[in-house]
Structure 1
Amino acid sequence: MQFDDQGDLDTSQVDDRRGIPGGKVAIGGGAVGLLAVLFAVVLGVDPQLLGLSSGSGSSGSSTGTRTAGEVQQACKTGADANKRQDCRIVAVTNSLQEFWRTELPRAAKIPYKNAETVLFTGQVSTACGPATSAVGPFYCPGDKKAYFDLGFFNELSARFGAKGGPFAESYVVAHEYGHHIQTLTGAMQKVGNDRQGAASGSVRLELQADCYAGVWAHHATTTPQASTGRPLIASLTDQDIAQGLDAAAAVGDDRIQQQATGRINPEAWTHGSAEQRKAWFTTGYRGGDFAQCDTFSAAKL
């Protein structure tokens, strides 16, 4: 994955809260809290949907030596994105918003409104309630922001066995922005209380976000920046796409359950199986067609 060295990075789309100390934030304790954390880590779960709230349990704390707002000083061009992980997240955010700004009005006749990427360490306050790094990356429809503790990407490899890599990270960011698209289209509201099961609204929502991530990837190297006239993402290789597919599979419900409990229970699925997540990302990537991502009407997931 290579970025245009002379491409412009717009850091106004990223709120870098790393290094900002916060108060004690807890995730519900006991077996229910642990189960919530297990499924939240699978990717992209709105904390409200899981019932994460303040209360008894383990608290998060800010860690590391990052300075708040560091990306604003360090991330200026695509060359910086080729060197630094945090600048890469800025660049992917920029690319996603550049693409969806044109694609959503064309494909869905809906105006696109920018989301915001928030980088944090340990814990964060959101319009969906307080959350810690334990919930993994998530999107909050209440404030239209996508939240990332970059330490999660180490967990993706160490805990879930993903191979990792720059595009594995990009896939995660693109998935969360898929939830932003769903908020704008109204798909987010279709889930209601249908939150578990192999064909549940929650699974359909998550697989659609995977498909939208694939649609963006299909167009990423041909979406020009308004400021330069050139795509910010200069190249994506087959190896890059393989990284994304590997990350998607690593966080399939079946693999998470097998690792955690030694058995697979589709009735408790919230995101879909490894093969389903790969398949829907591939559908988006191969076709590049927004309309092919209608998981809510699909007879087979």
Structure 2
Amino acid sequence: MTFKENARLDRSQVGGGGSGGRRGGGGIAVGGGVGGLLLVILYMLIQGLGGGGGGIGGAQGPWNFSTSNVVDDQEDATGDFSHCQTGADANEHADCRVIGTVNSVQQYWNSAADGYQPAKTIMFSGAVQTGCGAANSQVGPFYCPLDQQVYIDVSFFQQLEQMGADGGPLAQMYVVAHEYGHHVQNQLGLLNRAQQDPQGPESGAVRVELQADCFAGVWVAHADGTRTGDESDAMLERVTEDQISSALSAAEAVGDDRIQEQMQGRVTPENWTHGSSEQRKHWFMTGYESGDPNACDTFAADDLG
């Protein structure tokens, strides 16, 4: 998607430098670069990000958000995003594009869900300490429910191209929107279903990831109406079909079957944690075409696509 050149970016919603979040453990980082798969899950277990434990708070029902485990805002880390001022900067620089996407995604959810609590994104390089433990760039983008922050090393976008995505802006923005989908799930009390049923083609983990894809599609449907602060003009131009194809290229690239085929030469659905390429594309389009978060109930779906 294309930002309007004069749109203002709100840098207060991001931090950087690799020191964001609180120290701690016992939670599980969710999202795993949107591609996740066994390599990432195993890495998180080794590094202490994975495992059992609580920390995934919840609400009583749809859009009835709980604030019981919302942490106070952290101070910005040492990242310098002074070059990220306008939509023109977001169109040119990947880190500025992340900022603009965070602004738009959170403005949408704030308007769509009473009681939405914002989440900061930490952009890091190399390694980062989080409320879920230590992580490095090999994990890819992820959401930590214990500190309720999204973590992104923008170098992942280059890896995403190597995995088969076309490298377009919406392919990158889809990644950010997906991780914020996990934040919404956390506030709805749905995120813990990934831990209760962690693997398999119809597992809770897969349903959690596909719902986050669907929430990303819902945001895309409404993105051209989002604004920063009290601005009267929208942040983004209307999405095009080519841009939708770009997002789908990312969803396809991070399907469990696609990554398994590339990494091990065979597909083993019993080990899926995120869903197949077709499933991920299907649920993104379900969200986009409906524009309705209520259409994203992957937990009630008999057929995941």
Give the TM bin, normalised by the shorter chain. Answer: 0.7 to 0.9
Residue of structure 1 equivalent to 2:79 = 69
Q: Residue 210 of structure 1 corresponds to which residue in structure 2?
A: 213
After TM superposition, list the pairs within 5 Å mapping 1:240-279 onto structure 2.
240-279=243-282
TM-score w.r.t. length of structure 1: 0.83
Q: For residues 217-246 of structure 1, what are the alpha-carbon distances to aligned partners after superposition, in whole Å with 9 as ceiling and x for unaligned?
A: 000002233421121112321111111001
* CA contact 2:36–2:273 (8 Å) conserved in 1: no
* 8 Å contact kept, 1:47–1:128: no
Cα offset, 1:84, TM superposition: 1.5
Which whole-Å deviations, capped at 9, do the CAs of 1:8-27 have from their partners, x for residues lacking one? 11100000216x7xxxxxxx
Q: Name the SS for the 1:70 alignment partner.
A: coil
Residue 224 of structure 2 is matched in structure 1 by 221
> What is the CA RMSD across the aligned residues, in angstroms?
2.2
Partners of 1:99 and 1:52 lie apart in 2 by: 36
Aligned: 1:119 with 2:119: no
1:93 and 2:102 aligned = yes
Residue pair 2:194, 2:206 contacting (<8 A) in 1 also: no
- The change in CA–CA distance for 1:42 and 1:263 in structure 2 (over 3 A counts) is farther
1:176 aligns with 2:146: no
Contact kept, 8 Å, 2:34 with 2:175, in 1: the verdict is no
Matched, 1:14 2:19: no
Deviation at 1:47, TM superposition (A): 6.8
Deviation at 1:102, TM superposition (A): 0.8
What runs of 5+ residues in structure 1 fail to find an aligned partner? 21-38, 56-66, 106-110
Q: RCO greater where, 1 or 2, for CA within 8 Å and sep 6 or more?
A: 2
Answer yes or no: is the 8 Å Cα contact 1:47–1:129 preserved in 2: no
Query: Tell me, what secondary structure is at the counterpart of 1:5?
Result: coil
Q: Give per-residue Cα distances to partners, 1:57-85, cap 9 Å, x unaligned.
A: xxxxxxxxxx94221x1111112112211
Native 8 Å contact 1:43 1:137 kept in 2: no
Report the Cα distance in structure 2 between the residues aligned to 1:91 and 1:263, rounded to whole angstroms.
Answer: 38
Q: Report the counterpart of residue 51 of structure 1 in structure 2.
A: 45
Amino acid across the alignment from 2:204: G
Whichever residue aligns with residue 198 of structure 1, its letter is P
**Aligned pairs, how many?**
264
For 1:202, the aligned partner's letter is A
TM-aligned CA deviation for residue 161 of structure 1: 1.8
| Distance in 1 of aligned mates of 2:92 and 2:195 | 42
* Structure 1 letter corresponding to 2:112: E
Query: Are 1:193 and 2:196 an aligned pair?
Result: yes
Separation of aligned partners in 1, 2:180 and 2:301: 22
1:151 aligns with 2:161: no
